[in-house]
Amino acid sequence: MSELLVVGGGIMGLWAALTAARAGMTVHLVERERLGSGASGGLLGALMPHMPDRWNAKKQFQFDALVSLEREIAELEAETGTSTGYRRTGRLMPLGRPHLRDIALGHEQDALTNWRAADRQFHWHVRDQGGDGWLSANAAEHGVVFDTLAGRVSPRRVLATLRTALMERPNVRIDEGAGIRAIDPAHGRAEREDGSRVTFDHCIIAAGVGSFPLLDALSVPLKTASGTAVKGQAALLKADVDPELPVIFTDGVYIIAHDDGHVAVGSTSENRFADPLATDEQLDDLLRRATILAPCLQHAPVVERWAGLRPKSAGREPTVGRHPDHPNLFLLTGGFKVSFGIAHRLAQFVVDEIAERDTIEIPESFLCRNHIAALREKHL
């Protein structure tokens, strides 16, 4: 039975571990701190599709992933008897300027063509108003877009559900508290931060921002880092609102009603920061903007302020699949803002690649070998 080492216990690593365990592999999951302690353990859980225009392979892949996630979540919840906080709520986007309405009307037609699944049609509706008091009328002077494809999940609850599913499997071992600091693919071994060693037949690096130093060390010659960390800040408010309300999104502000009487607000995107885990006035400004968009939140108490680092590959796309120099090494990282919607599909691709069996297609721009080739061309 193949011994698989999964490095990282975020959303990517957990889906990879579960998919591999279901395929009969022996899985050793190693996490530096605790499962979900990185960017995956945040507050938002937005499942947002790309715009329906200018269709391409990347948009098709994400669309298929968002559609299939509903079934995957249902199976996971049935298996564990727990809830992930998943709901296809749709999304409201206010149109603050006349030209935005004209663009949105074009997208309405694009969605009819491109947002079509085998068993249903998803829509991009342009309306004069919307939200039933959830979204301020002043924010939508020229109407709103309501799309029926978007949704949300509770990040921490889906991570806990995945952990439960893994803990119930005898072919899975989970080690927390000391990450992997060096990998030797040629000899099938890795060194942990506490000095201990682990062996493997195959290894998946899915350690979020911690993936990039490991990848860089194994991809010489590179002088451009394979990825970077982008800080995000978010907050959780206590608010008695309908959990079926759609996600509000505009100008980088997300407002997401969850099932447990809380509303998440996020998030910043900071390329420069002094403290990766500190919240500051940027989050204060985000909360101010959120209460203008959704006035019912004006007096909602903030119960948690959160900050974390999200992994962004140098080419902006996720880095996925077999390493070109090391046939037993695989990458699954760089999802940045879209990880929760596509992690299950990317994990399936990587596990199938390890098992050398037919699999789904993913965009060429996602493949690890193409990321490495592009970074080496920059060097040359």
Q: Is residue 1 pLDDT above 80, yes or no?
A: no
Nearest Cα neighbor of 112 from 98, 124, 100 is 124
pLDDT digits (tens, 9 = 90+) for 23-36: 999 999 999 999 99
Q: Clarify whether residues 194 and 318 are in a common domain.
A: yes
pLDDT digits (tens, 9 = 90+) for 138-168: 998 899 999 999 999 999 999 999 999 999 9
Whole-angstrom distance, CA of residue 364 vs CA of residue 216: 20
Q: Bridge-partner residues for 175, per DSSP?
A: 30
Is the Cβ–Cβ distance between 105 and 143 less than 8 Å?
Answer: no
pLDDT of residue 199: 97
Q: Clarify whether residues 298 and 174 are in a common domain.
A: no
pLDDT digits (tens, 9 = 90+) for 167-199: 999 999 999 999 999 999 999 999 999 999 999
- The set of residues, in sequence order, having a beta carbon less than 8 Å from that of 164 and lying 6+ positions away, is 80, 82
CATH number at residue 337: 3.50.50.60
Q: Clarify whether residues 104 and 233 are in a common domain.
A: yes
What's the mean per-residue pLDDT of the chain?
95
Q: Clarify whether residues 164 and 306 are in a common domain.
A: no
Q: Clarify whether residues 139 and 212 are in a common domain.
A: no
pLDDT digits (tens, 9 = 90+) for 364-374: 999 999 999 99
Classify residue 346: in a domain, yes or no.
Answer: yes
Tell me the pLDDT band of 224, cut-offs 50, 70 and 90: confident
pLDDT of residue 2: 77
% of the chain surpassing 90 pLDDT: 93
Domain range for 120: 88-149+228-313
Residue where one domain finishes, among candidates 280, 313, 346:
313
pLDDT digits (tens, 9 = 90+) for 106-145: 999 999 999 999 999 999 999 997 767 899 989 988 999 9
Q: Clarify whether residues 208 and 238 are in a common domain.
A: no
Residue where one domain finishes, among candidates 284, 313, 342:
313
Alpha helix ranges (H) inside the chain: 11-22, 57-80, 98-114, 155-167, 211-217, 281-293, 339-355, 368-379
Nearest Cα neighbor of 237 from 187, 307, 287, 197 is 287
Is the Cβ–Cβ distance between 297 and 190 less than 8 Å?
Answer: no
What mean pLDDT comes out for the span 255-272? 96
Taking CA atoms, 12 is separated from 15, 185, 194, 284, in Å, by 5, 21, 24, 30
Domain count, the chain: 2
Residue where one domain finishes, among candidates 279, 313, 347:
313
Burial of 240 by CB count in 10 Å (0-12 exposed, 13-18 middle, 19+ buried)? Answer: exposed
pLDDT of residue 90: 97
Classify residue 49: in a domain, yes or no.
Answer: no
pLDDT digits (tens, 9 = 90+) for 278-310: 999 999 999 999 999 999 999 999 999 999 999
% of the chain surpassing 70 pLDDT: 98
* pTM of the full structure: 0.96
Is the Cβ–Cβ distance between 311 and 227 less than 8 Å?
Answer: yes
pLDDT of residue 223: 72
Classify residue 57: in a domain, yes or no.
Answer: no
Whole-angstrom distance, CA of residue 283 vs CA of residue 306: 9
Q: Clarify whether residues 180 and 142 are in a common domain.
A: no
